[in-house]
Structure 1
Amino acid sequence: MRFREWATKIMLIFLLFATLILAVFAGKSAKIENNNAISNPEVIAWSEYPQAQLQSAKNPEAKPQIPIKPPAKKQKVVGLYRTTQAFASYKPRYLITHVNPTNYGERYAKDINGVTLHNQPIIVIHETGNSASSAVNFFQTPHDNENIQASYHALITQDGTVVYLIPPEKRAFGAGNSVFNGPNGEETVKTNPNLPPSVNNFAYHVSLETPPEAWGNDKAEYHSGYTEAQYQSLAWLIAQSQVPDERITTHKAVDRSRQKIDPINFDFDKFFNLLHSYRQRLS
């Protein structure tokens, strides 16, 4: 009898120890799992959600895309230039923004006297005189006064971003009292009886953002110049046109008031070297 009681006590003690050992190991295991969950939350977060494209691919109800037919090919316009591989490789950042309609207009087929116009396009290079955002804000503000209405077709920021403002088929108000002196003599068009003649009717106006140290300084005659990115983006933009080199000019050159001096410190050699690397004349 005593032996049976002693054996029973031994068995109970053994079971208690076994239960305690199992509890300790279970607790450690749970603690390790919890520690792993806390130390690597990003792993769990990513694994909970499949990528959208994989989810779409596995969706049995997803409908196959219908191929879009390409538009009919238009007859190619024979031009003077073709773009190069260097042009294709350069991909500047770009933005498209709006300009208030009071600050631009239509291109006219006839001048104020009814004479049919045959001016070939020119490109006029400007600088903003202030920050690019300041220029855009001005162009987006309605101006009823014809004497202060102004705009460019595009401008290029310090980092080379091309900001498209007005479609090229529209007339930007970039040079008020102006004339282009080319191989055919003076070219200018009067379209408004209240304003002097200008090149605006046949000009594409593009502006470079002025370096920050010269912002707001109307009397500045010198500054640090334009960035490499600005020259590259300007050449890239103009390379898309068929305007010949001899019809690319500056605001200073076309201005009749002799008050405009922009773009200041413009390096034509650098610009034309880049332009010629982005487009080549057809033989």
Structure 2
Amino acid sequence: MPSLPSPTPASASEVPFSCMLQPVPNPPPARSSPTPIQLPLSRFRQSNPVDLASTRTDSRSPSYTPREEVQLADLTNFGDRYLRDVHGRSAVHDPIVVLHETVGSGQSAVNYFQTPHPRDEDQVSYHTLIREDGTVTYLVPPDKRAYGAGDSVFRSATGTEEAVQTNPNFPPSVNNFAYHISLETPADGDNNNTTHSGYTDAQYQSLAWLIAKTGIPDSRITMHKTVDRSGQRMDPRSFNSQLFLTLLKTYPKTREISIGCLPPETA
């Protein structure tokens, strides 16, 4: 069996930081990388000691730090964020966090994301995966658009419906302003049942640790089943929201993970 090519450092032209202005009417087929691309951890999370004290509600300072790794998805499975939608209207919204589960092993999800999928219908990804042991696996840079929720809308605290259409052949979604995080599903959840045994303590700790580093307000943290417009999504099943929010309050909110991209003229 021939050996796979070693990951190579990515150039700015392969995974640039900049936004795109507006989707083209007939987008070209997605392009895969001929060799695996390697991005540094700093592309996914910047070390930033600034504590957004005004958003912190618990004086405790947990010492928990999860293991982190980078497993970049294939270029066909994520795309650019846009400043305007397909109709030329503003596509800028405050970021949200969307929670998912893998409904399968974490490694099977990584394998799928790292497989080239030139057809739009097959493309899917999260920004980050949290494995059962709490390992944080970064898949798509936060300045890029992961394909985590197809036909979806976010309803803000004021009742405003937020969604952006970036492809004329598909309905609007939250992907243009979302940060998608998935929890690895336990073995007994690899099915279509409405519940399973739940997630590990390490996963909840890593999830709280991770989301705190986005600085996202609690009111803009949501779930796939909540934003989904098809009514078919159930994830994340058996999620303990009370436990998660309790843990989230113990972590200082920072902006180590910046969800968004730079305008082309400043990138």
TM-score relative to the length of structure 1: 0.68
Instruction: Quote how far apart the aligned CAs of 1:192 are.
Output: 0.3
CA contact (8 A) 1:156 1:162 kept: yes
The letter for the 2-side match of 1:129 is V
CA contact (8 A) 2:128 2:181 kept: yes
Instruction: Quote how far apart the aligned CAs of 1:117 are.
Output: 2.5
> 1:164, 1:280 → 2: CA distance?
19
> 2:59, 2:107 → 1: CA distance?
32
Partner of 2:139 in structure 1?
165
Partner of 2:81 in structure 1?
107
Aligned residues: 204
Tell me which of 166, 172, 181 is aligned to 1:197: 172
Q: Which runs of 5+ in 1 are unaligned?
A: 1-73
**Aligned ranges 1:59-208 → 2 under 5 Å:** 81=55, 86-87=61-62, 89-184=63-158, 185-208=160-183
CA contact (8 A) 2:130 2:206 kept: yes
Q: Does residue 231 of the first structure (1) align with residue 204 of the second (2)? A: yes
> 1:235, 1:124 → 2: CA distance?
13
CA contact (8 A) 1:177 1:256 kept: yes
Tell me which of 236, 239, 246 is aligned to 1:263: 236
The letter for the 2-side match of 1:167 is P
Tell me which of 223, 229, 238 is aligned to 1:250: 223
> 2:54, 2:91 → 1: CA distance?
22
CA contact (8 A) 1:178 1:255 kept: yes
The letter for the 1-side match of 2:177 is F
Instruction: Quote how far apart the aligned CAs of 1:91 are.
Output: 1.1
TM-score relative to the length of structure 2: 0.72
CA RMSD of aligned residues (A): 2.1
CA contact (8 A) 1:84 1:280 kept: no
> 1:105, 1:77 → 2: CA distance?
31
Percent identity over the alignment is 53
Q: Which runs of 5+ in 2 are unaligned?
A: 1-47, 255-267
CA contact (8 A) 1:80 1:242 kept: no
The letter for the 1-side match of 2:80 is E
The letter for the 2-side match of 1:203 is A
Which has the higher relative contact order, 1 or 2, with Cα contacts under 8 A spaced 6 or more apart? Answer: 2
Instruction: Quote how far apart the aligned CAs of 1:98 are.
Output: 1.4
Distance 1:188 1:162, change over 3 A: same
> 2:51, 2:143 → 1: CA distance?
17
What SS does the aligned partner of 2:250 have?
A: helix
Partner of 1:222 in structure 2?
195
Q: Is the radius of gyration larger for structure 1 or structure 2? A: 1
